[in-house]
Structures are given as structure tokens and as C-alpha cells.
Amino acid sequence: MTIKLGMFTMPFHHPARDYTTILEEDQDAIVLADQLGFSEAFVGEHFSSWSERITSPLMFLASLAARTTQITFGTGVINLPQFHPATVAAHAAMFDHLVRGRFIMGIGPGGLASDLEMFDLGQAADARPKMVLESIDTILKLWREDPPYRVDGTFWKFSLEKHVYPEFKVGWVPRPYQQPHPPIAISLLTPNSHSAKTAGERGFIPVSGNFFHRRYLRGHWEKYVEGCEAAGRRPDPSIWRVSRSVLVTESDAEAEDYLADPENGLSFYYKFFLFSFSQLRKALFMVKPDLEAPDESISVDTVKRGMIIAGSPARVLEQLVALREETGPFGTLLMAGHDWDQPKLWRRSMVLLARDVMPAFTRVYS
């Protein structure tokens, strides 16, 4: 099975950096990915964080439509509980036309604590997955059916019945370029994720994130298979996207020199996730390299080294093979995008990954 190379980026930058500059950097990273033959690029969505400042992946990715030729754009993700379904349906449909169908519609429940508080969803942890399903069902209804519309859901109730004028198509919600709709992907985080089962049941693309330990990836696939079997659908590993942080350098020593720096971009990135999983989510086990290690022994450095695939092309290949042997087959490796604190190093890493590592990785399983 050919293993594709894609990209997932939150993106995550030091909050002191200039907003315009980091947006340009993130654009340049996806343009480079397109030039290197990456199959797709997923971009996140956050409203209340200076570390994660893309507030609209659709707006951001639309700015790249004319600068790229083949890469497929993915939302990673649209946090559906934070929007009216009709808003998402209209915006996503227009975007799909702007990019001529180069679009995977990634959806999820949202997870940034400050966003959840701001949108008054902080106490709705159990409800948000249900909101995701109600919202996507409503979006698909609006794309599938002509008006009049009447939606009487648990979380959204609305109608469009009085002002429907067929001659001018007033009252019609725009429909996407891809028919019947763009592929739908759903983000996976927790061990034995229920969302993975939902993906299998509903025919969604499962996308496993990069900010938790790899030991939980296998459970995502098993839950996806469970959902497929419940729906009478044959599970296809080529549909599974797995994201990991990958740094490819000319030598192992160069990678070690970078990883050893406590002030670099990757250190700041994993400092955030150590804080998030230990203080906010109360789930430090998600990032522990060793479950038997006492909590007080877990540092940014231990988390970072337990999560990152890094080294020379040969060393990175070894680690990717080990990852696949542990998780089982997957169709696309999503390289996690990181702050270009050293632009030359990160650009070269993408080139080495695309041109040296991935062809060899694919040959191992061909």
C-alpha cells in the first residue's frame, strides 16, 4: 500500500511573534508542501489564543488556492458546536468551489478551553460530540434538499419557509462543488476514541492527532474498525490519517543539538501540551513516555523526546517503520507543522522527508 505524505498544522507559534509574519510563514509552509508533492494540508481553528492564531482555516486556505496546484486543503477542524450549521454549510460550499474540490471537510467538537468558555460550551463536554453529529446532519440536509427547510434539533431549531422565491432561488443554501458533498474527516484524540467509532459508522475519514503518545493510535484504529463493522462497511486502512511531529536533519547529531535546546519552538510546543494535559485536562498519561513513571518526573524534555520522530533520514525511516509496526497500516502520514524558529532547518526537514524518507518508507510496504 502506498503511504501518502500530508501535513497537519494547528499552527502553534510563540505568542510574542508578529501576527502578519506567522501567517506568511504558515502560508509558505503549505506552498512548499505543495511543491514537494504533499497530498493534503489540514489547518486548525482557534478564536482565543495568541499561540494558535488562525481563526478561520477556510479563509486562510482560500488565500492559498492560487499559489498551489495539487495539494488538497483540509480543515483541522471546523469546531461545529461553535457555529450555526447554516453558516458552516454556506461557507464550506463556497470554499469548495473556490478550490475546485480540493477540500476535505474536517470537523470536531472543539478542545481549546478558552474557546469553550467564550462560546459558553465549557460545561458541555458530553453534549459537544452530539452537537457535532446534529450539526453535520443538518449541513448535509441543507446541501441535499431544496427549501423550505425546517430543522427541529436538540441544539439548533430554525426554519426557512416564508421567504422562498424559486424564480430567483432566494431561500436556497449554496451547495458544494463536490457532489454529493466533500469528504468528511473527524479528529481523534482520546484513547479508544468514540469519535473513531463514529467515523467508521458514518464513513468519515479518521484523523489521529500528533499531541499524544503513539501507544493510543492502535486504539483509534480498533474503534474505527468496530464502527465499520457495526455499519456493515469494510474498514480500509488507506483512509486513516496519522499525524506525528517529524524532524529530519542531515545527521543524528544535528537533530540532537536542536532537541537539546530548551528554548526552541518544539520545546515551547510541548511545554504547552504538558501544561494542557497535566493542569487543564488532568490527563497527564496522554503524554507520558512511560506510564509507570511518577508524575513529578515528567518534564518538557521527557515529553518532547517521547513524542518526536527525529534524526537523519535513515534514523527517521527506522522510527516510521517502528510506528507502523506498532499501530498497523495507515494511509497517510501527516507531518505536524511547527514554528519555523530556524527556517532553514525546517524547510530542509520537509524536503528530506518528502524526497528521501517517504519513498523509502513506501518501498518497505510495497
Report pTM. Answer: 0.97
**Does residue 125 carry a pLDDT above 90?**
no
Q: Give the model's pLDDT for residue 1.
A: 77
**Is 4-139+183-249+311-364 in CATH node 3.20.20.30?**
yes
Report the percent of the chain where pLDDT is more than 90.
96
Q: ∠ CA(179), CA(180), CA(184), 5° rounding?
A: 100
Q: Are 226 and 197 in contact (CB under 8 A)?
A: yes
Q: How far apart are the C-alpha atoms of 211 and 64, rounded to whole Å? A: 26
Q: Which of 123-127, 188-192, 228-232 has the lowest mean pLDDT?
A: 123-127
Cell numbers at 115, concatenated: 474557546
Give the three-state DSSP class for 24: helix
Under the banding of pLDDT at 50, 70 and 90, the label for residue 124 is confident
Q: Tens of pLDDT along 28-84? A: 999 999 999 999 999 999 999 999 999 999 999 999 999 999 999 999 999 999 999
| Averaged pLDDT for residues 245-265 | 97
Q: For the chain, what's the residue count? A: 366
Q: How far apart are the C-alpha atoms of 114 and 29, rounded to whole Å? A: 27
Q: Give the model's pLDDT for residue 2.
A: 87
The sign one gets for the Cα dihedral 352, 356, 359, 360 is negative
Under the banding of pLDDT at 50, 70 and 90, the label for residue 149 is very high
